[in-house]
Amino acid sequence: MAFDDKLRQIFDKLEKTSRSDLQRQIRSLARLVADALQNDAWRIVSARTDKSLLAAATEACRLARILDATGYLEDKVLRSETSLTIDLRLKSDLKSVQDQIEYMFETKDAPNRGFVYIAWCARPEEYWYIGKAKNDGRLNLTSHGKLAHATAHATQLSLIFPSQSREEILAGVEAAVIAVVESHTGNLPKLNDRRERVIENNGAEELRLLSNFLGSIAADLHRKRLKTAV
């Protein structure tokens, strides 16, 4: 399977379920706040101290991060007319694969710009390593530590060329792919030892709207108190 097809499969599932689940968590947070107001517990309750609020807020942040990742991938990769994904079948003879990569760049079959790479297997579905590179010189299959290790196990190497290859966009796409893979499989790629910072997008906007709503309530109450005091 081409990685572009796999990514779209993951995207379609995660975007729909995460958006629905985030709305559910936001409603749960709203109910918890409403309950605190009704029984006057708002004086002592906060998202840092109340277990129910903390759990709901933590889950909302997790879901928002997934939506940030899917939104960023949609903007920079999936809906972009200038993005491109190239798949290479990894063979035991890595030298021939390395020659094929270099040939692609020399003949302009691959764009002369930065990319994000994914070493993975389609069956069984496994993700070994995800990284980014400014050019093909970074993609040395025989000497680049984790990538070399990954290609000893992976069967495919996929290169994503986003709509633009500025460093911040490459980092954003790399982080987003890692995030959706982790959410899809339940684990980070085998040789990625940390999450990367996902750039704010659709999920952050949902949380911002919730924050503005709760803040507006507090502001309205404060204004009413001032008017009553006059």
Q: What is the mean pLDDT of the chain?
A: 86
Instruction: Please state, for a pLDDT cut of 70, what percent of the chain lies above it.
Output: 86
Q: Specify the higher pLDDT residue, 82 or 217.
A: 82
The whole-model pTM stands at 0.84
Q: Specify the higher pLDDT residue, 142 or 102.
A: 102
Given pLDDT bands bounded at 50, 70 and 90, which one contains residue 191? Answer: very high
Read off the DSSP letter of residue 185.
Answer: H
pLDDT at 225 over 60: no
Given pLDDT bands bounded at 50, 70 and 90, which one contains residue 48? Answer: low
pLDDT at 125 over 90: yes
Interval 1-34: pLDDT, tens:
899 999 999 999 999 999 999 989 888 888 877 7
- Sheet containing strand 84-89, edge to edge, reads 84-89, 156-161, 115-121, 126-133
- 7-12's contacts with Cβ under 8 Å and 24+ in sequence apart are 7/73, 7/77, 7/78, 7/85, 7/177, 7/180, 8/78, 10/180, 10/181, 10/184, 11/70, 11/73, 11/74, 11/78, 11/180
pLDDT at 157 over 70: yes
Place of tokens 């490459």: 170
Predicted pLDDT of residue 79: 93
- With CA atoms as reference, report the closest residue to 179 among 62, 79, 91: 62
Predicted pLDDT of residue 118: 96
Cβ-contact 150, 94 below 8 angstroms = no
Given pLDDT bands bounded at 50, 70 and 90, which one contains residue 195? Answer: very high
Range 189-194 average pLDDT: 96
Q: Which distant-in-sequence residues (6+ apart) come within 8 Å of 70 by Cβ?
A: 11, 14, 15, 18, 176, 180, 201, 202
pLDDT at 216 over 90: no
Predicted pLDDT of residue 30: 80
Tokens of 71: 């939104």
Predicted pLDDT of residue 186: 96
Q: Specify the higher pLDDT residue, 167 or 96.
A: 167
Predicted pLDDT of residue 182: 97
Predicted pLDDT of residue 154: 94
Predicted pLDDT of residue 34: 74
